[in-house]
């Protein structure tokens, strides 16, 4: 048994935005774990506390890392109480820990979130009181937040080990008015198969999320290095274990050259991208510009465009965006050997852009349903050919 394991291994759930399940599963396998289930909005694997911490440190496309404590059916509050009390909470929760309860219920007979929250809290307290032989739980120690979901009368009880959502890497203290979530930006970089020998361009850089995620991914910088997790305070994760995961992450960084271009028509966005990139430790790899997207041109035969242009959700903005899509369709055609990965909620994008995508992937950016339109350029030739296994992990 691993020196950091205090109990048997347990199920670990990684919730994701709809459409990113395959990317999170791929990341989990790359970390050396087998996925137990890959379902809408969640990927599950098995591990212990060190694996929980490594997942928090490394997963780019997941929203949180949760310890799955139990799953059962309940249609009455009595069933919810008894089934919750039957869970071996003492496996995970020290007797002095704080354990706030939050969650939601969808399409279930137990519809009151507040009542479910109170009953789960009461049941956990009853279980811990019995097992630790105390009548009153002080809750003056580390916080172990219990998260519940009730979907179609199926209850899942989990313990949050992340704290702040994982998309909050720590480098983006400020952002523009419509930032792209870091997890989506990371997934777009992954699906692009962009090779670092070729340039990457984001002509709508905003606060720099796509260029920064691209640089971190190619240099294998762990996204969790710049932040803390809820698990830092857990009794089961001591300083030695945390240090070992941190040192592992630092040792796996790659020293590869990058040519990343970021541009925006708004000078304040260009400056914001520069500041965020410096904070993320990748400022030296991003070449900033301040131009209209239609005027950005990189004189290189091969490359990749990954961008998040304005969606135009309001009527007046929509017309402006439609004109913008037509314009970039013409300007991007000059980069005829490049690949493009463009996210937008506009269902008419392909018609406006002037070219049918080779592939599209549905995804949600917040509450907005979007598509990532993928246009594949020809494979690089000559000095751009990459031998199998070269530079890549």
pLDDT in tens, 181-217: 999 999 999 999 898 889 999 999 999 999 999 999 9
CA–CA distance, 335 with 325 (Å, rounded to integer): 16
Q: Are 280 and 219 in contact (CB under 8 A)?
A: no
pTM for this one? Answer: 0.92
Predicted local confidence at residue 48, as pLDDT: 96
What is the domain partition of the chain in residue ranges?
10-160, 182-221+243-384
Nearest to 16 by CA among 116, 153, 189, 162: 162
Alpha-carbon gap, residue 354 to 306, rounded angstroms: 18
Q: What is the DSSP string of 52-91?
A: HHHHHHH-SS-S--EEEEEEEE-SSHHHHHHHHHTS-GGG
Strands (DSSP E) found in the chain: 10-15, 35-39, 42-47, 66-73, 101-106, 146-151, 154-160, 200-202, 260-263, 286-289, 304-307, 339-344, 359-365, 368-375
Residue 390 has what pLDDT?
38
Distance of CA 240 to the CA centre of its chain: 26
Query: Which residues touch 212 (CB under 8 Å, ≥6 apart)?
Result: 171, 172, 185, 273, 276, 277, 280, 282, 286
Owner of token pair 């179609």: 152
Both tokens of 43, joined, read 């990927």
Q: Return the CATH number of 182-221+243-384, one of 3.40.50.150, 3.40.50.620, 3.10.20.740, 2.40.37.10.
A: 3.40.50.150
**pLDDT tens per residue across span 151-169:** 999 999 999 999 999 999 9
Q: Is 237 exposed, middle or buried (0-12, 13-18, 19+ CB in 10 A)?
A: buried
First to last CA, the chain: 28
Q: Consecutive sets of 10 residues in the chain, 393 residues long: mean pLDDT of each?
A: 59 96 97 96 96 98 98 98 98 96 96 96 98 95 97 97 96 76 97 92 96 98 96 95 97 96 94 94 96 93 95 75 95 93 96 97 89 93 50 33
* Rg of the chain, C-alpha, whole Å: 23
Mode of pairing for the β-strands spanning 304-307 and 339-344 = parallel
Q: Hey, is 359 helix, strand or coil?
A: strand
pLDDT for the residue 384: 55
Task: Give, in words, the CATH class of 10-160.
Answer: alpha beta
Angle between helices 267-280 and 209-218 (to 10 degrees): 30
Report the pLDDT value the prediction gives residue 7, as an integer from 0 to 100: 54
Q: How do residues 276-304 score in pLDDT, each as one tens digit?
A: 999 999 999 999 999 999 999 999 999 99
In degrees, to the nearest 5, what angle opens at C-alpha 231 toward C-alphas 227 and 237? 115
Residue 105: phi, psi to the nearest 5? -130, 135
How many whole angstroms separate alpha carbon 174 and alpha carbon 164?
A: 16
How many residues comprise the chain?
393
């Amino acid at each position: 048994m691993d020196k950091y394991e205090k109990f048997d291994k347990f199920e670990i759930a990684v919730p994701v935005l709809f459409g990113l399940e395959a990317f999170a599963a791929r990341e989990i396998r790359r970390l050396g774990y087998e996925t137990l289930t890959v379902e809408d909005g969640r990927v599950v694997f098995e591990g212990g506390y060190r694996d929980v911490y490594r997942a928090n440190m490394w997963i780019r496309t997941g929203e949180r890392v949760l310890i799955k404590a139990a799953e059962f059916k309940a249609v009455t509050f009595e069933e919810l109480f008894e089934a919750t009390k039957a869970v071996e909470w003492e496996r995970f929760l020290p007797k002095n820990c704080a354990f706030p309860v939050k969650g939601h219920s969808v399409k279930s007979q137990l519809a009151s979130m507040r009542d479910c929250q109170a009953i789960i809290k009461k049941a956990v307290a009853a279980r811990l009181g019995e097992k630790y032989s105390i009548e009153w739980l002080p809750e003056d120690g580390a916080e172990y937040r219990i998260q519940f979901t009730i979907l179609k009368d199926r209850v899942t009880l989990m313990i949050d080990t992340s704290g702040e959502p994982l998309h909050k890497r720590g480098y983006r203290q400020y952002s523009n008015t419509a930032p792209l979530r870091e997890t989506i930006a990371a997934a777009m970089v992954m699906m692009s198969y962009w090779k670092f020998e070729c340039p990457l361009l984001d002509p709508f850089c905003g606060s720099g999320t796509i260029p920064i995620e691209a640089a971190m991914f190619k240099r294998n910088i762990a996204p969790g290095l710049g932040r803390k997790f809820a698990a830092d305070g857990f009794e089961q994760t001591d300083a030695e274990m945390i240090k070992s995961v941190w040192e592992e992450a630092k040792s796996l960084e790659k020293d590869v050259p990058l040519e990343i271009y970021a541009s925006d028509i708004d000078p304040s966005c260009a400056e914001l991208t520069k500041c965020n990139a410096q904070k993320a430790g990748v400022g030296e790899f991003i070449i900033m510009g301040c131009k209209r997207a239609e005027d950005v041109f990189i004189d290189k035969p091969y490359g990749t465009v990954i961008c998040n242009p304005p969606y135009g959700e309001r009527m007046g903005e929509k017309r402006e965006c439609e004109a913008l899509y037509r314009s970039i369709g013409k300007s991007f055609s000059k980069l005829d050997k490049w690949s493009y990965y463009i996210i937008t909620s506009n269902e008419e994008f392909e018609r406006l852009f002037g070219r049918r995508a080779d592939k599209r992937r549905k995804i949600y950016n917040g509450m907005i349903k979007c598509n990532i339109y993928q246009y594949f350029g020809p494979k690089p030739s000559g000095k751009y050919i990459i031998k199998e296994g070269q530079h890549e992990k």
